[in-house]
């Protein structure tokens, strides 16, 4: 199912508004899994790899939805369908790119040696 793109105005600490086009969001089930099937499926190379999780670049995603059905842990949600318990992952997906900007493709950049603080603060996920 194709969803329409939604634009949000977000007030940041500097009291200015920035607009983010957010389409799909990767949530907590991806943490410490990093299956990467979604990366292979993405036609625009907008899924970036952090230390413990993958992130969808909100400005590079074209809202095709190809990533969602191939995720084996069902961690990818359309922004409006993101479960409330994982609502913080919307902000995490946007803010992950604050320092990176728009590199123009994940494969050009490679793995990023950091995660959003929300992800970094989580205990190890999965079987231990």
Q: Is the model's pLDDT at 125 over the cut of 60? A: yes
Q: Which two tokens stand for residue 121?
A: 């603060």
Q: Residue 6: its pLDDT value, please?
A: 46
pLDDT value, residue 23? 84
Contact criterion met (CB below 8 Å) for 31 and 52: yes
Give residue-wise pLDDT tens across range 45-54: 999 999 999 9
Burial annotation 74-93 (CB, 10 A radius, 16+ → b, else e): ebbbbbeebeeebeebbebb
The secondary structure of residue 88, as a DSSP letter, is H
pLDDT tens by residue, 65-124:
999 999 999 999 999 999 999 999 999 999 999 999 999 999 999 999 999 999 999 999
Q: Name the average pLDDT for the chain.
A: 86
The pTM of this model reads 0.82
18 has a pLDDT exceeding 50:
no
pLDDT at 12 over 50: no
pLDDT for 39: 97
* Strand pairing category for 17-22 and 24-26: unpaired
Please name each of the domains of the chain with its CATH number.
24-119 (3.30.70.20)
């Amino acid at each position: 199912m194709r969803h329409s793109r939604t634009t949000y105005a977000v007030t940041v600490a500097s009291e200015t508004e920035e607009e983010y086009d957010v389409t799909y969001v990767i949530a907590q089930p991806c943490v410490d899994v990093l299956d990467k099937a979604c990366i292979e499926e993405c036609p625009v190379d907008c899924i970036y790899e952090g230390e413990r999780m993958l992130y969808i670049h909100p400005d590079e995603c074209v809202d095709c939805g190809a990533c969602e059905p191939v995720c084996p842990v069902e961690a990818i949600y359309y922004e409006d369908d993101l479960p409330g318990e994982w609502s913080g992952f919307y902000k995490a997906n946007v803010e992950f790119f604050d320092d990176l900007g728009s590199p123009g493709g994940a494969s050009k950049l490679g793995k990023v040696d950091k995660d959003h603080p929300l992800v970094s603060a989580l205990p190890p996920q999965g079987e231990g």
